[in-house]
Amino acid sequence: AAGVIQSPRHLIKEKRETATLKCYPISRHDTVYWYQQGPGQDPQFLISFYEKMQSDKGSIPDRFSAQQFSDYHSELNMSSLELGDSALYFCASSPGPRDGNQETQYFGPGTRLLVL
Amino acid sequence: AQSVTQLGSHVSVSEGALVLLRCNYSSSVPPYLFWYVQYPNQGLQLLLKYTTGATLVKGINGFEAEFKKSETSFHLTKPSAHMSDAAEYFCAVSGNQGGKLIFGQGTELSVKP
């Protein structure tokens, strides 16, 4: 089965620009998580969605927003980019409560964002 | 609140030697515990997880971990290291309903020939 797909894989932006990262979860997974991993750091939880509704929120800057669409894919929108936003952004998906194994998150390959 | 502490940011072993990566957690609710591996420039791959039941959990690539509630630990072991095991390893915790993962700082494993 296909894994979590993220696009683009690499992105270079200038300060103050905007960026949109996309995540396509595994088929039948209705929960999506976003994480940010800075250089040499552990992944930090940003935000999650279940059945197209925000389910939890972590250390996500106000300049960022995200949503989950009817086909369960998710987009992370980042505005007024700063140098410190340069990081690897992971998306993970998990099955819903009806399917069991909801605690297991399957990670995509990540989008590497570089802000110049 | 939940947190994870991984003891040792870098661990180096010889090929064929025992691998032991340490993880201690703090959780106000019964935890679910995970080990993920990250190869350079790649995503996170699940090695194994503990939810309930048997406290010794076996994962992929010959790794296993034991949940010890009394010690709040979930150490990862492998009897014999292989060169291909060189990677970054993350221990993570979530609540017992799933949800967001809280990661430790990571341990970089190096394997010497």
Cβ neighbors of B12 (< 8 A, separation 6 or more) are B109, B110, B111, B112
Nearest CA in chain B to A105: B46
Query: How far apart, in Å, are the Cα atoms of A44 and each of A20, A87, B7, B65, B103?
Result: 19, 11, 19, 23, 7
Kindly state the helix (H) or strand (E) to which residue B108 belongs, with its residue range.
strand B107-112
Q: Do A107 and B101 touch (CB under 8 A)?
A: no
CB pairs under 8 A between A and B: 56
Q: Which residue has the higher pLDDT, B58 or A102?
A: B58
Nearest beta carbon to residue A103 from set B32, B103, B105? B32
pLDDT tens figures, B38-53: 998 888 999 999 998 8
* Residue-level pLDDT, tens digit, chain A, 116 residues: 679 999 999 999 999 999 999 999 999 899 999 999 999 899 999 999 999 999 999 989 999 999 999 999 999 999 999 999 999 999 999 987 777 778 899 999 999 999 99
Backbone angles phi, psi at A84, to 5 degrees: -70, -10
Q: Which residues of B fall within a CB distance of 8 Å from A103?
A: 32, 49, 51, 94, 96-99
- Closest-CA distance, B49 to chain A, in angstroms, reads 8
